[in-house]
Amino acid sequence: MLTDPIADMITRIRNAVRARHEKTTIAVISKLKLAILDILKREGFIKDYRIVSTEKGGLIEVTLNYLTGGRPAINDLQRVSKPGRRIYIGKDEIPWIKNGMGIAIISTSQGVMTDREARKRKIGGEYLLYVW
């Protein structure tokens, strides 16, 4: 049983990037995971993802993105808010990740979005993770 499925997803992606794998699979589909993967795809950190199976919770196959020279697009991927310690930030507390080179992913009342979108809409929320 997974206590933190988002941390599991992040760990699977991070491990696949470090091992230079082209693809990885993530167990148990959820709307939150799909929203995070949408953002990672839109921002260019992953190439694509697709739902492979819907049996017993389902599987998602994630295709990782590598830059020229074989360098991974994801340098670091870290979970911030955890089930045992939730981290909420206001609109004025949204962090800049690597001076704008990375993104923070925030779950707000208007959906899951990047730090830039949250600043633009002037809303805060739960600080899920950051990527650079």
The Cα–Cα gap between 100 and 112 comes to 18
Tokens representing 90 are 């206001």
Res 54: pLDDT: 85
Q: Is residue 90 within 8 Å of residue 126, measured between CB atoms?
A: no
Tokens representing 23 are 């693809």
Res 71: pLDDT: 94
**Nearest CA-CA partner of 74 in 115, 125, 19:** 19
Each residue's pLDDT tens digit, 16-57: 999 999 999 999 899 999 999 999 999 999 999 999 988 888
Each residue's pLDDT tens digit, 95-106: 999 998 999 999
In DSSP terms, 26 is beta-bridged to 60
Res 114: pLDDT: 98
**Residue-range domains of the chain with CATH:** 5-70 (3.30.1370.30), 77-131 (3.30.1490.10)
DSSP secondary structure letters along 91-127: TT-PPPSGGGTSEEEEEETTEEEEHHHHHHHT--EEE
Each residue's pLDDT tens digit, 69-98: 999 999 999 999 999 999 999 999 999 999
**pLDDT at residue 59 tops 60:** yes
Which class for 56: exposed (0-12), middle (13-18), buried (19 or more C-beta within 10 A)?
A: exposed
Res 123: pLDDT: 98
CA 71 to chain centre: 19
Neighbour count for residue 18 (Cβ, 10 Å): 10
